[in-house]
Amino acid sequence: MARKLIIWTKTAVRQRREILKYWVNRNKSNTYSKKLIKKIKNKVTFISENPEAGKLTNHKDSRESAMENFSSYYQIVEESIIITAFWDNRQDPDELIKILKS
């Protein structure tokens, strides 16, 4: 199967950026954030090659792909994967539900 084009929503980009900044500030180093970026790239590549691999959720044809303490939420739209949220699973789940419903 051919890779699908990955599109990050503004919300997902902002969430990813905030998570990476949090870890840089917390650890006073960007080492963990660099490792996390590499893991995110690997996961996104996997999703683009295996879009059906993510677990279906109860929200607008969304799928979830977990990676350690983080999850990517995405929708398959024709030849694209739209990443709608990038979430730290230790955060308030009610906030995630609001994002997925919008």
Question: Topology of 5-101 in CATH?
Answer: YaeB-like fold (3.30.2310)
Each residue's pLDDT expressed in tens, for the chain with a length of 102 residues: 678 999 999 999 999 999 999 999 999 999 999 999 999 999 999 999 999 999 998 887 899 999 989 999 999 999 999 999 998 888 766 776 666 666
What is residue 88's predicted lDDT score, i.e. its pLDDT? 87
Q: Locate the domains of the chain by residue range.
A: 5-101
Angstrom distance (rounded) from CA 65 to CA 55: 7
What is residue 101's predicted lDDT score, i.e. its pLDDT? 65
Q: Which of 68, 50, 67 is nearest to 6 (CA)?
A: 50
What is residue 40's predicted lDDT score, i.e. its pLDDT? 94
Instruction: Report strand pairing: 70-77 vs 80-88.
Output: antiparallel
Q: Are 81 and 9 in contact (CB under 8 A)?
A: no
